[in-house]
Structure 1
């Protein structure tokens, strides 16, 4: 499926409405992707000003969520879209929800960064944050790119990467839990790292959700809650 499957309606207003929805989704995605990058930098570099900027950006993300929801509702009410157009509206609505939650998780990471800047750096966990952070940031970028290009196969790679993130996250949790038991004085600061890693793992989950919506949009197949192998089989059919 490509852009030609959308925007071929006799009504120029319908074409414009669909294009506006897609453009606003991409705008929101770019804003949220920047939030993730800035939140990681704020945490790793103890940059309080940047952390505050990430938190403040939440307001812009929330406004875009409301705007896109209103646009989707208007199209559903006035145009009664069918087939691929209806799938586009549904996929956008769900992707918007995931993007808003990614923004929330980014703000959580920024708040952990503020606490660490005040209390002093954690003795452990920054390597894991950087590694997993880069991984989920790439997942989000790829998920948004897949949505922009209607690329189901790229969306599949995002879903597969989420499994890798889950493994990395579990390993990091075991390592940090062991460290806290060995050095109880570090517990408060290491917990901030743990909450940040948890937020990153959730960002990976939401990126996967966006990828799954792309597959639904392109193939018309619901691939939630199934394995990567099962998704691959659905893409073949």
Structure 2
């Protein structure tokens, strides 16, 4: 009886983590769309919805501590709870970066835009959102091989960041009217790059869940570049 209650609690934790992940991916998608479309109303929605993401993380953390204290799980069960606690913290930080992108949208004041760079930011965001969706799927299936591939794909995120950085600096040098918007492009690309790093963190937790070993995927990816 106790075991079946524990399994039910664990499944509930698992489902709530997945819901939080989907909400974070929606926040990232909306924040980038708001930035590209200069949609301040959508940007405000992203900022307001962050309190719900924060509450989800706190709820997961509280329930996780409660299950550890009351059920005293061991081995795989304990690893699953620890993984949810750690990975939900990474999701919460991704949500914070979505808020930062939304705030950059609200700061924009009809400055001169560089559409080719905005297109690149949109492509980068699509890639990063694909990483977030994939890592949630890898978590659900405890797929460590997929987690490694997702972490490797963060090289593409870093390439986008370098390219946007290069093009933004060039635009600012060639036309001083793009200096303010160029600085925003650099910031937004930086937030997306950090989201990619947090996805790599979750990949590491998936491998921990499967093997019980902590691996440094993000560090390895950067060393290989």
Task: Tell me the TM-score normalized by structure 1.
Answer: 0.88
Q: Which runs of 5+ in 2 are unaligned?
A: none
Matches within 5 A, 1:109-124: 109-116=101-108, 118-120=109-111, 122-124=113-115
Q: Which runs of 5+ in 1 are unaligned?
A: 1-8, 231-237
Q: Is 1:112–1:193's contact at 8 Å kept on the other side of the alignment?
A: no
Q: CA RMSD in A?
A: 1.7
Structure 1 residue corresponding to 2:122, chosen from 127, 130, 137: 130
Distance 1:56 1:137 in 2: 20
Moved over 6 A (4+): none
Q: Is 2:138–2:146's contact at 8 Å kept on the other side of the alignment?
A: yes
Match of 1:233 in 2: none
Match of 2:34 in 1: 42
SS in 1 for 2:38: coil
Distance 1:207 1:15 in 2: 27
Query: Deviation string for 1:80-132 (max 9, x for gaps)?
Result: 1111111111111110111000000001111111222x333522520221111
Q: Is 1:44–1:126's contact at 8 Å kept on the other side of the alignment?
A: yes
Are 2:177 and 1:185 equivalent residues in the alignment? yes
Distance 1:180 1:129 in 2: 16
Match of 2:63 in 1: 71
Aligned length: 220
Distance 2:156 2:107 in 1: 29
